[in-house]
Amino acid sequence: MIPGAGPLPRCPPCERSRPMPMRLPRAAGFAVASAALVLVFVSAGSPIPLYNTYRAQDGLTDADLSVVTAVYLSMAAVSLLVLGRLSDHLGRRAVGLAALVSSAVGLVLLLDVDGVGELAAGRAFQGLATGLASSALGAYVVDTAPPRRPWLPAVVTGASPMLGIPLGALLSGALVDHGPAPRQLTFVVVGVLLAVVAVLLALGPETVPPGAGRARGAAASLRPRVLVPAGARRPLLAMAGLILATWSVGGFYQAFGPSIAEVELGSTAALTAGAVFASFTVLAFLGGPLTARVPAHRALQAGMLAYAVCMAGVLWALHAGATGAFLVVSLVAGVTQGVAQTGGMQ
């Protein structure tokens, strides 16, 4: 000690020895967030090819499957509307992890389906997960995206549901047809993937800075706010009609795609059921590239007209029992809905 000087300041032992938490670099965080977002939608598509199994073995009816689909879509919509801003206050990682947990809970409930109650409960948690993931993980993708590729976040967030859900249905159909324990294997595989991604997401960087009043702000964010910019009422009404038309038909494919595959197209394969559902959504992401140089109102008009024509083609193919034509027209319908939705959003 220097004569006349006071004692040296002491560093608390906890500050000297506390290890810094390991965090993934920003680029890895972007990759993990993108994978987590896609995987939540893969999980949401995984039960669909099993609907025929539930009908045959558990006595579920088409009306039951309609209710289950309505529960899933309603939970997704409510989650987006009410919980969409929650990650702005609680953090992207925390709410993103909640989405993964909700998806995993849904899979656990689906492991032992013997009636409409278990199926509806599992789909409710999966719907909640898709809403949470769309907002929190979608924002995390935007926050961690490479600055030199400003177009990449829009591609990832826009394509995730359109690719993830049909991919989950196709994966599930293949495992149901060719794997052991057909009623459980898909959910176990997807659940393991969710667990791996959850661990990696927990190690990612948090992009929402901590601050005082987070709980108060989170509670306030649960009150939905609807703001319509000046002059946007007519386009908004057109977009609302388009969303209603595409969501309702998407719900039809989800609830009745397996029944269509068996009754109208003569196939009992789960993979065919998955393909029937996937045909309506898997190419919707092409709407963005196809409308890159087209005025937004023209894309919306052309997409809606072509979509209506495709719906007429779908009805004809079902009436004629033409499997190939049905799948082709459904694929084209998916492209047209992507064109119309891209134009409407612009």
Average pLDDT over residues 254-281: 86
One-letter identity of residue 133:
A
Domain boundaries, the chain: 23-221, 230-346
d(C-alpha 293, C-alpha 135), whole Å: 28
Q: Which of 281, 339, 283 is nearest to 307 (CA)?
A: 339
Q: State whether residue 22 is helix, strand or coil.
A: coil
What share of the chain has pLDDT > 90, as a percent?
46
d(C-alpha 311, C-alpha 301), whole Å: 16
Average pLDDT over residues 139-148: 91
Class of 23-221 in CATH: mainly alpha
Range with the lowest mean pLDDT among 34-43, 46-55, 101-110, 316-325?
A: 316-325
Q: Which of 227, 285, 277 is nearest to 257 (CA)?
A: 277
Average pLDDT over residues 75-95: 89
**Tokens encoding 142:** 């935007």
Average pLDDT over residues 13-31: 68
Render pLDDT for 163-216 as a digit per residue (tens, 0 to 9). Answer: 899 999 999 999 999 999 999 999 999 999 999 999 999 999 888 877 645 666
Residue with tokens 């898909």: 186
Res 215: pLDDT: 62
Q: Can you give the pTM of this predicted structure? A: 0.84
Residue with tokens 């997401």: 201
Q: Is the pLDDT of residue 5 over 90?
A: no
Render pLDDT for 279-290 as a digit per residue (tens, 0 to 9). Answer: 888 888 888 788
Q: Which of 81, 79, 88 is nearest to 215 (CA)?
A: 88
Q: Please give the full DSSP string across 185-224, using - where no structure is assigned.
A: HHHHHHHHHHHHHHHHHHTSPP-S---TTHHHHHHHHTS-
Q: Is the pLDDT of residue 15 over 50?
A: no
d(C-alpha 80, C-alpha 72), whole Å: 12
Q: Tell me 181's DSSP state.
A: S
Average pLDDT over residues 86-100: 91
Render pLDDT for 156-167 as a digit per residue (tens, 0 to 9). Answer: 888 888 889 999
Report CA-CA distances (Å) from 100 to 41, 91, 187, 196: 10, 15, 14, 10
Residue 306 confidence class, pLDDT cut points 50, 70, 90: very high
Residue 217 confidence class, pLDDT cut points 50, 70, 90: low
